[in-house]
């Protein structure tokens, strides 16, 4: 019986050692090479569900003479159909995030979730919904025409995260650019380490510049 217990313990130690080693290798690889998941269209590989209720609101809509009338209709419809207590934590803003000359409408819920609409052929077009699932989020607009989309900053798991949001082929796209890691494994806040997920140093530097500028996108409250 004792011999059996000793053998089982030895096997357990070997198994735990193997798991620990595998975790370190995976972490090292992710820091030194671009991740295949770092440039993923949200539609293709998503970790959340679309807000189908937001899309269904548009199934019976009429045509609109212009984009202003279309977005005014949707904003007023949202106000009328949303509980006043929930509406207190909602806002909206306009931004052309794919550079086609047409502003998208962003409706933000609770500071973290965004539903995006566009306007085409006299109708409102539902693009997608995305929830950053963190209360610490900032969104920036670049004055560089090369980057019409939105630069996003979030914070969580002892790291700052930088992303770029745009529309590609009619689908919402969120590219993870880099992580600024300051957890205990990196030596703490004073010994930060960058984990870069793209070889495009220009877009990384732009994300850093916008974060330092403090030029956050202004949102309009529904109240």
| Helix or strand run (H / E) with residue 221 | strand 220-221
What is the distance between the alpha carbons of residues 114 and 210, in angstroms, rounded to a whole number? 20
Residue 190 lies in a domain: yes
Structural domain of residue 52, as residue ranges? 37-215
- The arrangement of strands across the sheet holding 220-221 comes to 123-131, 113-120, 104-109, 90-95, 220-221
**pLDDT tens-digit profile of 69-109?**
999 999 999 999 999 999 999 999 999 999 999 999 999 99
Q: Is residue 16 part of a domain?
A: no
Going by C-beta distance under 8 Å and a sequence separation of 6 or more, which residues neighbour residue 86? 109
User: What is the pTM assigned to this prediction?
Assistant: 0.73
Whether 1 is in a domain gets the answer no
In this structure, are residues 194 and 180 in contact, taking their beta carbons and an 8 Å threshold? yes
- The answer to the question of residue 10 being in a domain is no
Which of 196, 191, 111 is CA-nearest to residue 154? 111
Q: What is the pLDDT of residues 123-169, one digit of tens each?
A: 999 999 999 988 789 999 999 999 999 999 999 888 999 999 999 99
Confidence band for 214, pLDDT divided at 50, 70 and 90: confident
- Structural domain includes residue 223: no
Total domains in the chain come to 1
Q: Is residue 11 part of a domain?
A: no
Q: Identify the band that residue 213 occupies on the pLDDT scale cut at 50, 70 and 90.
A: very high
Domain assignment present for residue 220? The answer is no
The string of pLDDT tens digits covering residues 15-67 is 333 323 322 222 333 333 333 333 333 333 333 334 545 555 554 567 999 99
Is residue 163 in a domain? yes
């Amino acid at each position: 019986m004792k011999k059996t217990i000793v053998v089982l313990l030895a096997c357990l130690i070997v198994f735990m050692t193997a798991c620990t080693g595998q975790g370190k290798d995976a972490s090292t690889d992710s820091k030194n090479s671009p991740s295949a998941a770092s440039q993923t269209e949200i539609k293709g590989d998503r970790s959340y569900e679309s807000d189908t209720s937001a899309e269904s609101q548009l199934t019976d809509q009429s045509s609109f003479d212009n984009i202003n009338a279309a977005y005014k209709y949707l904003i007023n419809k949202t106000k009328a159909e949303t509980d006043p207590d929930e509406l207190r934590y909602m806002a909206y803003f306009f931004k052309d995030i794919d550079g086609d000359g047409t502003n998208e409408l962003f409706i933000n819920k609770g500071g973290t979730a965004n539903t995006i609409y566009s306007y085409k052929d006299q109708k409102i077009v539902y693009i997608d919904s995305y929830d950053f699932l963190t209360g610490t989020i900032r969104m920036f607009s670049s004055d560089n025409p090369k980057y019409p989309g939105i630069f996003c900053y979030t914070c969580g798991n002892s790291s700052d995260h930088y992303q770029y949001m745009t529309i590609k082929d009619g689908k919402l796209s969120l590219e993870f650019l880099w992580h600024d890691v300051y957890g205990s494994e990196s030596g703490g806040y004073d010994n930060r380490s960058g984990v870069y997920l793209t070889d495009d140093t220009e877009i990384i530097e732009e994300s850093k510049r916008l974060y330092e500028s403090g030029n956050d996108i202004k949102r309009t409250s529904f109240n």
